[in-house]
């Protein structure tokens, strides 16, 4: 008995040591190229040999990538012909567990208001441009003023998904979230000064992740006390690092960007086909994020309960009051319904969601079937004459004037100014030749209907898509006011252009048909509604899976 106990103990210790060894890097403590030791105090190559895995950012769920059929799984009753099935592969990534809520967005607004006071004229458009459009709730023949006045800010709606946010505002929120999360990481790791995110932040002194990685001394407006005020030098500082303690990309500490998911990522995550996976095949196809072909639960304890928040029929947004009601007439608090098999809530119903892609009817899988995304506009850091990156200041904030006249900030002080890539990056390349790839392989020569006129600024109407052009500019009578000129042309043939974005998933205003994750619709990127919200995604660096694969079946032990 004693020998058996000792043997079992040794087995446990061996397995534990094996598991621990699996979490470390596999390139050892010395170079297989030169034999030199890594991180030697005498010099040589300095590298993070203790990196284990990407940290899961706040609010995110890990989604292991794989292959799936993207596109229609039921009859195309709308006859749109815009979701033809294609086989796609998506890399592993992270997705928000829930839609971005009112309280999450209010935190963003509060930060903007504190750092860029809207009472100061030069900052007014920063805060105002980020405000959701609460007037989306109004209806000419509806009594909805209660939502107009309360939905965004009243605590009763704090945990409801934010709406009235256009695609551009969703992108700017994502950028802000990235910076705040990485700023928190640096503070917790004692790299930057304690409480620097609160005590040392102003319009002239902010933290931007890309600025910190490219020009760290310019972070917080060049406030060295805030930038290097932590005490983690022994943990991170390299003996041959003349810059002092600046965390670099090679340290693996800072997270990738929060961003909008691509359409392929969103559909893959919504389907959660792991539920019907058997070895290396899927057992059938799913119509909804849950298994089965009905919108009501068939489980004994919850039989008859609705599985999502959607419009059930004319004048029926929730059902008859009582047990069969879906619990919501407009949006519902996040997590009101069971998650899918990836652990994601409300991937069908509640609110539809913006994704990153430009809308086109066809998904061009003949050109690419890996991480498919239409909308790439490649840029690079703008460079000053002295070779340093060009940091945006309070006097050079970048704004966009939208087609509806709303002004939004696109690059805030402390960020790096971006410029389109040019021949320095594209010369003799085969994988891309232009900065703007939104129209790539879009049906004809150089992706334009009138190729020669397309590049002529004096012929703006000769475009591939004959969509409306709403002009907004300074008034001729008063240059301090905007003159909005609505396109009244009667010959327009489409509303599709390079500024319309895909949105996915059904909402509280949609019938069950739109709950199918394959369904796709589009909306102008600078407009908002009371039924479109969003959630963030984040790319994964490193391995496809978080855990080492194990055999599905093991031999029985005697």
* Rounded CA separation 130/449 (Å): 35
Q: What is the structure's pLDDT at 15?
A: 45
Q: What is the structure's pLDDT at 221?
A: 94
pTM, two decimals, is 0.90
Q: What is the structure's pLDDT at 160?
A: 98
- Classify burial at 18, counting beta carbons within 10 Å of its beta carbon; exposed 0-12, middle 13-18, buried 19 or more: exposed
CATH architecture of 55-189+253-375+502-543: Alpha-Beta Complex (3.90)
Q: Return the structure tokens found at 464.
A: 């591939």
pLDDT tens by residue, 310-326? 999 999 998 888 777 78
How do the domains of the chain map onto residue ranges?
55-189+253-375+502-543
Phi, psi for residue 422 in degrees, rounded to 5: -130, -165
Q: What is the structure's pLDDT at 554?
A: 58
* Rounded CA separation 538/60 (Å): 8
Phi, psi for residue 424 in degrees, rounded to 5: -65, -30
DSSP at 556: P
Q: What is the structure's pLDDT at 556?
A: 53
* Rounded CA separation 530/350 (Å): 11
Q: What is the structure's pLDDT at 6?
A: 52
Torsion of CA 390, 391, 397, 401, to 10 degrees: 50
Which residues of the chain register pLDDT less than 70?
1-26, 73, 233-244, 443-464, 479-480, 550-558
* Rounded CA separation 202/115 (Å): 5
**To 10 degrees, what angle do helices 102-115 and 167-188 make?**
80
Q: What is the structure's pLDDT at 480?
A: 67
Phi, psi for residue 358 in degrees, rounded to 5: -70, 140
C-alpha distances out from residue 401 to 303, 405, 408, Å? 51, 6, 7
pLDDT tens by residue, 390-429? 999 999 998 988 888 888 998 999 999 999 999 999 999 9
Q: What is the structure's pLDDT at 491?
A: 81
Phi-psi region of 189 (alpha: psi -120 to 50; beta: other; left: phi over 0): alpha
Q: Return the structure tokens found at 496.
A: 């599709």
Which of helix, strand or coil describes residue 259? strand
Torsion of CA 222, 223, 228, 230, to 10 degrees: -150
């Amino acid at each position: 008995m004693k020998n058996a106990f000792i043997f079992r103990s040794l087995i446990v210790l061996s397995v534990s040591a094996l598991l621990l060894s699996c979490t470390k890097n596999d390139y050892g403590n010395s170079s297989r190229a030169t034999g030199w030791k890594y991180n030697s105090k005498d010099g040589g190559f300095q590298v993070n040999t203790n990196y284990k895995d990407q940290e899961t950012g706040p609010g995110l769920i890990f989604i292991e990538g794989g292959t799936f059929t993207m596109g229609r799984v039921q009859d195309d009753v709308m006859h749109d012909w815009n979701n033809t099935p294609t086989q796609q592969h998506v890399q592993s990534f992270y997705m928000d567990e829930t839609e971005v809520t009112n309280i999450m967005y209010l935190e963003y607004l509060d930060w903007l208001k504190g750092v860029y006071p809207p009472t100061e004229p030069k900052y007014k458009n920063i805060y105002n441009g980020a405000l959701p459009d609460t007037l989306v709730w109004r209806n000419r023949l509806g009594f909805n003023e209660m939502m107009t006045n309360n939905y965004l800010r009243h605590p009763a709606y704090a945990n409801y998904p934010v709406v009235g946010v256009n695609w551009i505002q969703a992108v700017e929120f994502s950028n802000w979230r990235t910076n705040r999360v990485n700023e928190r990481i640096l503070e917790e790791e004692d790299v930057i000064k304690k409480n620097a995110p609160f005590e040392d932040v102003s319009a002239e002194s902010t933290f931007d992740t890309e600025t910190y990685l490219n020009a760290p001394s310019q972070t917080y407006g060049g406030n060295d006390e805030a930038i290097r005020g932590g005490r983690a030098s022994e943990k991170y500082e390299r003996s041959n690092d003349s810059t002092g303690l600046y965390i670099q990309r090679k340290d693996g500490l800072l997270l990738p960007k929060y961003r909008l998911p691509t359409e392929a990522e969103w559909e893959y995550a919504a389907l959660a086909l792991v539920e019907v996976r058997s070895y290396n095949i899927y057992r059938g196809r799913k119509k909804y994020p849950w298994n089965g072909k009905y919108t009501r639960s068939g489980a004994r304890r919850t039989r008859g309960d609705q599985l999502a928040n959607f419009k059930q029929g004319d004048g029926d947004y929730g059902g008859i009051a009582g047990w069969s009601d879906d619990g919501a007439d407009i949006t519902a608090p996040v997590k009101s319904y069971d998650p899918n098999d990836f652990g994601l809530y409300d991937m069908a119903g509640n609110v539809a969601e913006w994704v990153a892609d430009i809308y086109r009817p066809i998904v061009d899988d003949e050109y690419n079937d890996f991480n498919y995304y239409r909308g790439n506009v490649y840029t690079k850091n703008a460079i000053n004459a002295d070779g340093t990156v060009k940091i945006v200041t309070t006097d050079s904030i970048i704004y966009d004037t939208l087609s509806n006249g709303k002004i939004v900030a696109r690059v805030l002080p402390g960020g790096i100014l971006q410029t389109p890539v040019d021949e320095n990056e594209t010369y003799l390349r085969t994988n891309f030749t232009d900065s703007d790839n939104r129209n790539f392989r879009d049906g004809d020569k150089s992706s334009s209907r009138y190729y020669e006129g397309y590049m002529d600024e004096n012929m703006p109407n000769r475009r591939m898509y004959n969509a409306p052009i709403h002009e907004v500019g300074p008034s001729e009578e008063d240059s301090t006011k905007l003159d909005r000129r609505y396109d009244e042309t009667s010959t327009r043939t489409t509303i599709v252009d390079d500024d319309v974005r895909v949105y996915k998933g059904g909402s509280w205003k949609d019938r069950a048909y739109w709950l199918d994750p394959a369904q796709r619709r589009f909306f102008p990127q600078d407009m908002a509604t009371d039924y479109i919200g969003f959630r963030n995604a984040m790319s994964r660096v490193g391995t496809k899976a978080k855990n080492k694969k194990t055999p599905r079946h093991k031999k029985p032990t005697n």
